[in-house]
Structure 1
Amino acid sequence: MHSLSHLFLNPGDRRFWAGFTALGVLFLLLVPALNLLLPADSALHVPNYMVTLIGKYLCYAILAMAMNLVWGYCGVLSLGHGAFFALGGYAIGMYMMRSIGARGVYGNADLPDFMVFLNWKELPWYWLGFDHFWFAALMVMAIPGALAFVFGWLAFRSRINGVYLSIVTQAMTYALMLAFFRNEMGFGGNNGLTDFKDILGFDLSQDATKMGLYLLTTLVLGATFLLVRFVTASKLGRVMMAVRDAESRVRFLGYSVTGVKLFAFTLSAVLAGIAGALYVPQVGIINPSEFSPANSIEIAIWVAVGGRGTLLGPVLGAFAVNGAKTWLTGAAPELWLFALGALFILVTLALPKGLVGLWAGLRARVTEKSND
């Protein structure tokens, strides 16, 4: 009850709710209105491809918030969150592949096209159930969550911390990438899963479906924002931050550090899986490259750029870095990796609190001058 009253009634949170409402109006009302109500030749018109692009950035923002929950608030730097994101994407991709049925290139109602091409005779047992959306939706959360729980339990009970944990999580996602690249795994090999037709009967090529996915992603981002805020404002959230700042003292006081880390790591993985499931229908493909360790490193950069340990920072970082990536890979693709590395060094040395910290510092200076 205390957490709920702090979340909804604390008068010091007015700026938070004002910002949350402003972002809701921007993404939930303004973007759709500029897309649907203005003519295509208007300077303010948001074209359909831009709606899809923003929808992809919103998925990245959910993923960044998931990463921030375990790293920013609990001090566990995971470099394997790309794996949880990809597993959620594969789970929903399997459902959409099963939904194609006889409409595939080979007209086989029982097997996806890539299995027919590779001379598979029957559907693997681990594909069973994915012709039902409810089962796929459950697996979107259960598979990343179960992997994170088992992996985290083994790692945290062994007190693997710091850079060693980061290396182990990176090894996990690299191993999964190598496994999913193999045709024998039954997930499409290096081509992955693609050529989706619809989801829940809605044609993915239709603009209305794309807008529906965009709006759903916006709502899920809002729900994620509130969930993370609720968790971090609770007693458990305070213990998480204590583990981040002084783990040995928290253990000395009798708290289960393993349990706290395991909760944050598992919940974070579930949120990453949901982000992956929203991402795949909008981009139209999921392949093993999503498991790339470089992707997980980028996620950490989004959080660092925006502001680790803040609510808004991961969202700002995801939009800022990916917006720059979209522009620079089109203008000078060979420079992107150099720019990303330079950005990370700049943030680490000059902006340790990210964009949110920079804004807070500037606002504090203005307030001081006005008081003088």
Structure 2
Amino acid sequence: MNASLSKLVGGKEGLVGLAVLAAIIFVALPLGVDIFRLNLVGKYLTYAFVAVSLVLLWGNGGILSLGQGIFFGLGGYGMAMFMKLEASDPITTKIQTTPGIPDFMDWNQITSLPWFWEPFKSLPLTILIILTIPALFAYLIGFAMFKRRVGGVYFAIITQAIALILSILIVGQQGFTGGVNGITDLKTVWGWDTRNDSAKYILYYLNGFLLFGAILLSKYVLNSKFGMLLLAMRDKEERVRFSGYDVSNFKIFIFCLAAMISAVGGAMFTLQVGFMSPSFVGIVPSIEMVIFCAVGGRASLIGAVYGTLFVNFGKTFFSESYPELWLFIMGGLFIAVVMFFPDGLAGVWAKYSHKLNVFKKKSSLTSATAIIDSTKNEGSKKAVNEIDVTNIEGAKA
């Protein structure tokens, strides 16, 4: 393996981890579950974008954000606005008082499309907005906070407050955002129906490939010089600052990158599910996304994906099997993971795989020792036999 590829995937161990995850996502799950369940898995994988971003931000940067739902929601609403405009053509909406605008605007007596909706008539421009607006918003928050050395629990509370404010704003501006119902009845992208089974398969695989792209990008960042400085900043921030580096710029950059990755997950969520609402922007979803990362292992990119799948599969199973108890069961599960497995699923794997490697090495060493002892014994027997033959021949002489 050449140096650049090793740097990208994280060596042989990282390559094996990616291969196993790819086999599960692209082969095992599509072959093992029906299209309804596969679409659910696709929804779970959109949350994994946020979990991966939190590994960058929290696990390696030491910056706990309780507001990643902000950027997930911005990406989701961006894609929803494009799809809603496509579904609101003058022919489809001819029964409205004002044809050609979204139905919730017509219900709220808005007679023309607001100016900030205009760019979402174009898909390329929508994709550009999905990538840039969350990053710009993260830059404004990061610049205001990190330049003043606001961090730790204070930063976590502030991001939580911003998530709450944004969700309240979306609900309050019902005529422009759809309010508490969100933006619904999303059907097509450039005329392509996203609701049939073949489209769901395509979106699932697209979602998986984009997730792997986010993981590889994150691995590249973490394995670079910037990644080493990020870890140093997490453990000894003052020492990094005294070494001449501007710590605030590092934090702003990683916060913006995490926001961009989360926004891609939000856009894919809208495509997979067919709607977007403020319930995915506020405090509760943001905290759940932190839990996904913590369960998988906040220092492991691949572990974050497994943690997201594990928690959401658990939520689905318990809510279907024990509808009255599933919240208590999931709460107990989270407490148990935090208490007994502080490094998450990735930490458990690392611990037991290390013990397995040690056991294999001991077994190999024992076998090698036995072979050496056997060789020595054979050599000793041979030497004794040679001495006996020599003595017998000497006595005959």
Paired residue secondary structure (2:60): coil
Is 1:311 paired with 2:301? yes
Q: Distance in 2 between matches of 1:203 and 1:157?
A: 46
The aligned residue for residue 52 of structure 1 is 39
Secondary structure at 1:78 match in 2: coil
Q: Which amino acid aligns with 2:340?
A: A
Report deviation, 1:328.
Answer: 1.2
The amino acid of 2:317's aligned partner reads: W
Q: 1:94 aligns with which of 69, 81, 90?
A: 81
Distance 1:23 1:348, change over 3 A: closer
CA RMSD of aligned residues (A): 1.9
Contact map agreement 1:106 1:116 (CA 8 A) in 2? no
Report how far residue 49 of structure 1 moved: 0.5
List aligned pairs for 1:107-186, cutoff 5 A: 109-184=99-174, 186=176
Separation (CA, whole Å) in 2 of partners of 1:335 and 1:68: 30
Max radius of gyration: which structure?
2
Instruction: Quote the offset at 1:336 in angstroms.
Output: 3.4
- Quick one: distance in 2 between partners of 1:349 and 1:198? 46
Go from structure 1 to structure 2 and tell me whether the alpha carbon gap of 1:104 and 1:23 turns closer, same or farther (over 3 Å shift).
Answer: farther
Distance in 1 between residues matched to 2:171 and 2:94, nearest whole Å? 22
Equivalent in the alignment of 2:386: none
| Post-superposition CA distance 1:288-324 (Å, at most 9, x none) | 1111201111111111111111121100110000110
The alpha-carbon deviation at position 5 of structure 1 amounts to: 5.6
Task: State the alpha-carbon separation in 2 of the partners of residues 9 and 173 from structure 1.
Answer: 33
2:14 to 13, 16, 32: 16
Query: What SS does structure 1 have at the residue aligned with 2:265?
Result: helix
Equivalent residue letter for 1:134: P
Q: Find the partner of 1:26 among 18, 24, 27.
A: 24
- AA aligned to 1:103 is T
Distance 2:54 2:92 in 1: 38
Superposed displacement of residue 161, structure 1:
1.1
Cα deviation, residue 6, structure 1: 4.3
Q: Secondary structure at the match of 2:207?
A: helix
Cα distance in structure 1, aligned partners of 2:8 and 2:277 = 41
Question: Which residue identity is paired with 1:228?
Answer: S
Structure 1 pair 9–287 and aligned structure 2 pair: CA distance change class (3 A): closer
Contact residue 106 and residue 113 of structure 1 kept, 8 A? no
Partner of 2:71: 84
> Would the alpha carbon gap of residues 31 and 347 (structure 1) be closer, same or farther in structure 2, given more than 3 Å must change?
closer
1:232-271 aligned at under 5 Å gives the runs 232-271=222-261
Which whole-Å CA distance do the structure 1 matches of 2:199 and 2:312 have between them? 24
1:336-351, aligned counterparts within 5 Å?
Answer: 336-351=326-341
Query: Normalising by the residue count of structure 2, what TM-score does the alignment of the two structures yield?
Result: 0.86
Comparing 327-336 with 140-149, greater Cα deviation is found at: 327-336
CA shift for structure 1 position 18:
2.1
Q: One-letter code of the match for 2:15?
A: W
Q: Identify which range, 346-355 or 261-270, moves more after superposition.
A: 346-355
Deviations 1:56-112 (A, max 9, x none): 111111121011110111000000001100110000000000001132484554210
3-state SS of paired residue (1:75): coil
Gaps of 5+ in 1: 35-43
The amino acid of 2:23's aligned partner reads V
For 1:212, the aligned partner's letter is I
Q: How does 1:179-194 map to 2 (within 5 A)?
A: 179-184=169-174, 186-194=176-184
2:271 alignment partner AA? P
- 1:4 lines up with 2:4 in the alignment: yes
SS in 1 for 2:299: coil
1:345-360 to 2 correspondences below 5 Å:
345-360=335-350
Question: Partners in 1 of 2:83 and 2:124 — Cα distance?
Answer: 12
Secondary structure (helix, strand or coil) at the match of 1:7 reads: helix
1:217 aligns with 2:211: no
> How far apart, in 2, do the equivalents of 1:177 and 1:148 lie?
16
How many corresponding residue pairs? Answer: 358
- Cα deviation digits, residues 105-125 of structure 1 (max 9, x gap): 845542101111111111111
Aligned residue for 1:333, secondary structure, equals: coil
CA contact (8 A) 2:163 2:283 kept: yes
Aligned with 1:65 (options 45, 48, 52): 52
Gaps (5+ residues) in structure 2?
Answer: 363-397
Summarize the alignment of residues 285-296 of structure 1 with structure 2, pairs less than 5 Å apart. 285-296=275-286
Could you state the TM-score of these two structures normalised by the residue count of structure 1?
Answer: 0.91
Match of 1:37 in 2: none
What is the CA deviation profile of residues 191-242 of structure 1, one whole-angstrom value per residue up to 9, with x for unaligned ones? 1100012112211221111111111101101101100000000000011111
1:4–1:230 Cα contact (<8 Å) kept: no
- Give how far 1:359 is off: 1.3
* CA apart distance, 1:366: 2.7
Instruction: Please give the alpha-carbon distance, in whole angstroms, between the structure 2 residues aligned to 1:333 and 1:64.
Output: 26
**Contact residue 179 and residue 185 of structure 1 kept, 8 A:** no
Kindly tell me: are residues 83 and 334 of structure 1, through their superposed partners in 2, closer, same or farther at Cα, counting changes over 3 Å? farther
CA distance in 1, matches of 2:314, 2:94: 38
Alignment of 1:35-46 (within 5 A): 44=32, 46=33
User: 2:388: which partner in 1?
Assistant: none
Residue 156 of structure 1, CA deviation: 0.4
